[in-house]
Structure 1
Amino acid sequence: MHARTLAVALAAGLATFLAVGAAVTEFALRWIGFSLFVGLPVGFVAGVTAAALVLVGSGDRVPTRSRRVAVAVGAYGVTFLLTLAVTVGAFSLPNSRALTLAAFVAVLTAAGTYVLDPAETRSLTG
């Protein structure tokens, strides 16, 4: 396992934690006063699942479809974090708009990565 694989898995896990945690927290806000106590655990489970998917999917004996999914989830994570950092840091967008824009750009990137199939030419393990 290479450092690049671990970094991409960490990025995917953190991005998924942020996106899912914020989405569940905002969705549950209407019915639950302390919706953060629901959003954080759900985001944590989703983030760990995404990181595990990238780690397991980047193995040597993994089918092509699984590798494509792992690369797409990794691309989602890296794109989400970079877009979030740029929109908040450089453009000073409010957090709600920055999260929405980052999620939108990251989903488009992940879909494009899955469709274009870079896993056959290059993998996360180098």
Structure 2
Amino acid sequence: MRPRLKRRRGFSLIESLAAFAILALVLSQLLNGVSGGVRNESRADFLVRAARQGASQLDALGADGQIPTGETTGTYSDGLLWRLVVRPGKTVKGVTGAPIGMTFHATLFIERASGYGDNFVLSTVKLVTMEERGQ
């Protein structure tokens, strides 16, 4: 009689490959979730910076009484690009029918210089009296 061979204990090659495939799927989903969180944090940071700087710029518009119409562009100190479009609106008339002021519609477009496609738009209407305009 031949002696019986001892059975080896452990995992077969197929079982090991299946385990590695499952592990790879789980890790890819985990990394996808983490990278999505990083993208969301980056977008939130951009929106906060753009909102603060843009609101400040629009608040200062016309502070000296003059509102320049047309289109102007520039860059904030942190690298965000901005484009301001100001269009004259309607003349506001008083009770007597005489003009007492004028409206201006300002739209501010802010985007990243890096080209990620993030953009932010703020819009406001400013009212300037004829006294403030020097008329």
Using structure 2 for the length normalisation, give the TM-score.
0.28
Using structure 1 for the length normalisation, give the TM-score.
0.30
